[in-house]
Amino acid sequence: MEILLAQSAGFCFGVKRATNMALEAAEKYEHICSHGPIIHSPQMVEKLAAHGVDVVSDIEDIPAGAVIIRSHGVSADELHQILDKDLDIVDATCPFVKKAQDYAQQLSREGYSVVLAGEAEHPEVQGIISYGTETDVYTVASFEDAEKLPRMKKVGVVAQTTQSYDNFAQIVESCLSKCRELRVFNTICDATTVRQNEARSIAESVDLMLVIGGYNSANTSRLARICKEIQPETHHVETAAEINPEWFHDVDRVGITAGASTPQWIIDEVYEKVSQVGK
């Protein structure tokens, strides 16, 4: 059995940076916590916990000391709450997410209705839209969502950094039909596009596709959806333990990729397990 492992599988720049900052902070501070899980990988969060990084969801519950702002960033309100608590801040917000926040703020200040192409429930999205307070702000997940928007005078579009380009382009197309002036900042992270394109190309050439990453990771779930459209035999797994040897009957070629928040050791374990099954 042949195994094709995507070169782009695993940690992106922002996630690598955030986990490194968290590990360094864990050495510096006796007690430190992160506001929500630093990245959407339960296994990595567990590992950081072993180094003393606790996860606290509610800012009110953060004890005195230091706090890590996770890669997804925080909303403007949350930032004010954190500043009010006079905590040391380790800001691990992904620089690309920060850019999307800045553009949302700029567009809103310049009078554009802001449309964010992304998933309303995602913390990155909630952060970004919180900076567009001076005009109407809409979060749309799809072309169909965008079609329901009202007519507007000036529309500014930004994207969740892990959006698929095609979905984003369709949302832009819909926005164009709703206004006379459209301004678009394509804030999709290149790493996302590269990872999605490589996943597509691998999924086309294999009998079975594995996508590794946290079930709470939006970019991993999207990656799995993209692969499933091409190769229905696609499985989204979080760890090697979930791999079912029965999947591999009559399978000659297996493809493996992983989300931006999937640690290398988990990818290695999955690769090893698949190699054993395929022998």
Q: According to CB under 8 A, which residues from 233 to 252 bind its own copies?
A: none
191 binds its own copies (CB under 8 A): no
Based on CB atoms, which residue is closest to its own copies, 170 or 239?
A: 170
**Which of 182, 194, 230, 277 touches its own copies by CB under 8 A?**
182
Check residue 184 for interaction with its own copies (CB under 8 A): yes
Nearer to its own copies, 168 or 271 (CB): 168
Using rule CB under 8 A, residue 183 touches its own copies: yes
Tell me: does residue 110 bind its own copies (CB under 8 A): no
CA–CA distances in Å: residue 96 to residues 132, 187, 190, 245: 17, 7, 10, 39
Q: Is 124 considered catalytic here?
A: yes
Q: How many CB atoms lie within 10 A of CB 228?
A: 16
What's the farthest any 2 CA atoms get from each other in the chain? 62
Under the criterion CB under 8 A, does residue 13 sit at the interface with its own copies?
Answer: no
**Residue 187 CB, nearest distance to its own copies (Å)?**
8
Contact 112, 137 (CB under 8 A): no
**Which pair of tokens denotes residue 243?**
């791999």
Torsion sign over Cα 204, 208, 213, 214? positive
Task: Say whether residue 186 binds its own copies (CB under 8 A).
Answer: yes
Q: Which stretch binds its own copies (CB under 8 A): 26-34, 59-67, 169-177, 242-250?
A: 169-177
The first and second tokens of residue 208, run together, are: 């079975």
Q: Which of 144, 173, 229, 268 binds its own copies (CB under 8 A)?
A: 173
The yes or no reply on residue 158 touching its own copies (CB under 8 A) is: no
Question: Annotated catalytic residue: which of 124, 181, 204, 229?
Answer: 124
Q: Please report, to the nearest 10 degrees, the dihedral formed by the alpha carbons of residues 136, 164, 257, 92 taken in order.
A: -30
User: Which residues are registered as beta bridge partners of 55?
Assistant: 34
Tell me if 200 sits within 8 A of 230, measured CB to CB: yes
The only residue of 179, 202, 203, 274 in contact with its own copies, by rule CB under 8 A: 179
Minimum distance, C-beta of residue 171 to its own copies, in the bound complex (Å): 11
| Distance separating the N- and C-terminal Cα atoms of the chain | 7
What is the spatial distance between Cα 257 and Cα 238, in angstroms, rounded to a whole number?
A: 12
Which residues are tagged catalytic? Answer: 124
Residues that bind its own copies (CB under 8 A): 165, 169, 172-173, 176-177, 179-186
